[in-house]
Amino acid sequence: MKIVSIVGKVLRLPGAARRMRRRQVKPSVRVTPIGGMSGYDDAPMMRVRAQSRRASVANGARLRLHLCTAAFAVSFGLLGVKLWDVSTAGVEAGRIYQRFANDDGSRPEIHDRNGALLAVNLPVRGLEIDGRQVWDAAETARQIATVLPEVNIEKLTRRLADGAYVTPSWAITPAQEHALFSLGLPGVIFVDRMQRYYPQHKLASHVVGHSAPGEGGMSGLEAVLDDIGEPGRPLVSSIDVRVQQALEDELTHAVDIYQAEAAWGGVIDVRTGEMVAIASLPDYNPNAPALGAPGAVRNRAVYDRYELGSIFKVFTAAAALDSGRATEETEYDVRGGYKVANWTIRDFHGEERIIKFSEVVQYSSNIGAATMAAEMGPRGLKAALANLGLLDPLPIRLKERRAPQPPAKWGPVETATVAYGHGVAVTPLHALAAFAAVVNGGQYISPTFLKRVGRTPSRRVFTEETSAVMRRVLRRVVTDGTASKSDVSGYYTIGKTGTAEKPSAGKYSLNENITTFVGAFPGYAPRYAVLVSLDHPLPRKEDYNFATAGWNAAPLFAQVTARIAPILQIVPAGSNADPALEEILFDMPLETEIGDIAAYSDESTKLISSARRYQ
């Protein structure tokens, strides 16, 4: 298209006219073609838009201003978004963390049976660092360590340099927060969160267990909460912290005295199966589980399996009695040794005579127990132990539970050794629950770490007559047998010692023992059973260099019983020096009323009434 400029037409005017036009058009003009139109010489003409130079400059300036304004708006917008991200990063991280950890305060508290706090949620402030915001990783780590000395400077430096999101401390004090804030370090974030706190510290730590951030309960009742916990409702345990404290104190004292490697113990209500206390040493503080001694988190009383030795004679004797294979008058020849296959079984302190049923338990005869087992046969003994829950995992809620380790086969040799507690490994809690069934009238009640509400489920494993005989037999163990140091005045304690050589490298160690005493009080009408064990106690001159259960575990049981009986409101019945009263008490059925007892002296009746008052 032919373009004709207006400027060209102006140039074709006469000279005077050109001069006049030049004077009238003062400003220079920029011509911009807009579109075609008809014009001179039949040439297509363009629609034009004329702008002055001043207008053009103004428009350019206006455009640049708009561009600058837009650029500033975008820059400040991006800066605002970044500031918002930085300021809320800790909060969002905390929210994500709480959602997975269930640590937002909804996790139920854990109480002892009387309402004492065992686990609770506390609001705390935590420290986090966004490595992407840190300018100098090494300097930041050094500065943080001036306030939190436990921080590993090298590790923190390395992680910050990698741009990681780090939590140097899950909970800090207000003073620490102020000091850290004053450092003015970029990338440091303070977040609100809930911390699980254990106000009893080490006390009952293996029962309560502990939780881990982001993972929930790791052990004990904390793990149980993940299955049955209800927000707003505390989990009430069967533990009594007063009894727990006494048990742990006495175990700790015994470990110190006998220089034992470890110790454990438990107290069970034989009528309900409630574990009133259970302890394992070494223990740990659930507020800082990683700082405990190696193996301290392990619950030896519930998880570990041991050959507990002669306390198994109680189960063998009760089974023989209940099956009709034995009576209180049955006699056993324990002279020399007992030959089975290619093995000869001997007694530790042999009586070298014919002894009665009661004396097998009283003097802890391996030969007598093996003879009883042989008369029942492998199938009979195995069935009896299974009935006592000694061959299967306990039906408890703690995930630390563990199945016993019976013999792979039950031949004559295995039957003989299992009868006196060798060749079969069970947890201490297995043994305690089975013993409770022997002395409580013959009812097996599964142990529980939760406070019972309503009826207690049970099943009969022995007759009441068998249980009554066993209580009398176990009393003789204390008065005339291997456990004289277990007696507690007024409580007529009953029980059995057990000394077992520790297995090592496929054989038994002659120098390392596990010593155990399991007993109950009051012996004539048991309310609580107690088991205590020491792992490799050393002999002492005071004990004539003996390190067997009668010299260490038995007195430990006595110390525990003397402390916890008053706490549990069990009133002593006179003194152990009254043989007539003792005979009356042990001949009474468990549920006998005072009015049904034949007339005795007023003093004896008063003592019996006192003994029964709290049963």
At 603, the amino acid letter reads E
- Which one of the listed residues 211, 310, 365, 486 is annotated catalytic? 310
Q: What is the rounded (10 degree) CA torsion for 266, 269, 270, 272?
A: -130
**Residue the block writes with tokens 């036009």:** 21
Residue 103 and residue 123: Cα distance in Å, rounded? 10
At residue 406, φ and ψ (nearest 5 deg) are -80, 175
Residue of 377, 402, 373, 408 whose CA lies nearest to 390: 402
Helix (H, G, I), strand (E, B) or coil at 518: strand
Residues with Cβ within 8 Å of 532's Cβ and at least 6 positions away in sequence, in order, are 250, 251, 254, 263, 264, 265, 516, 517, 553, 556, 557, 560
How crowded is residue 10: how many other Cβ atoms within 10 Å of its Cβ? 13
At residue 528, φ and ψ (nearest 5 deg) are -135, 140
At 211, the amino acid letter reads S
Residue of 295, 111, 87, 103 whose CA lies nearest to 204: 111
Residue 262 bridge partners (DSSP): 535
Residue 126 and residue 214: Cα distance in Å, rounded? 14
Secondary structure in 3-state letters for 206-227: HHHCCEECCCEECCHHHHHHHH
Is 310 noted as a catalytic residue in this protein? yes
Residue of 300, 326, 551, 320 whose CA lies nearest to 432: 300
At residue 311, φ and ψ (nearest 5 deg) are -65, -20
Residue 510 and residue 572: Cα distance in Å, rounded? 40
Residue 582 and residue 514: Cα distance in Å, rounded? 32
Give the catalytic positions in this structure. 310
